[in-house]
Amino acid sequence: MHRKILVLAGAAFVAACAVFSATSLKAADGDKATEEFMKKYHKAPKGTDPICKKAVGGMASAEELAGLLAGYQAMCGTKPPKGDVGPWQEKCKALIAAVKGLQAKDATAGEAYKKAVNCKACHSEHKPD
Ligand code: HEC
């Protein structure tokens, strides 16, 4: 009886480890995802506004806001390529909250998003050179 419980516990432990290593691998892929997301949403061809700028001005479409939200949520779930996880998650959470505000048409959300999407503040801490 006791022996059976031990075997079961052992199996559960092995399964947990497998899940853990699978998520670590995913986090490594996520770094690349951040770069792709930045290029798509924070940068724009010359003469056009990047999506993040449109969002600050309340001009982003529902699809664009949904894309921003998904991107920040994905970033929040990954380790930053540089710097500490704590401040990184704080920045990502501020971005998520601001985009949700924009989706809810909260009048103060544009200002909150503008503050949260501070390129330099985040890059200097978290973007590898
Ligand atoms: C919350 C953090 C954060 C904010 C805010 C942020 N970035 Fe980034 N950005 C990153 C990180 C981290 C990388 C590096 C990704 C990598 O190398 O894996 C990056 C990479 C980039 C890249 C692509 C790679 C490169 O070296 O040029 C561009 C372009 C970019 N960001 C533009 C911007 C712009 C423009 C803004 C402001 C409107 C901005 N980002 C705001 C975190 C942020």
- Whether the per-residue pLDDT at 65 is higher than 90: the answer is yes
pLDDT per position as a tens digit, 9-42: 555 544 444 444 444 444 445 558 899 999 999 9
Residue 103: its pLDDT value, please?
A: 98
Q: Within its chain, how far is the Cα of 82 from the centroid?
A: 14
Residue 32: its pLDDT value, please?
A: 84
Q: Which residue has its alpha carbon closest to ligand 1 atom 6?
A: 119
Over residues 89-96, the mean pLDDT reads 98
Q: Which residue has its alpha carbon closest to ligand 1 atom 36?
A: 119
Residue 91: its pLDDT value, please?
A: 98
Measured in Å, residue 20 CA sits from the centre of ligand 1 at 27
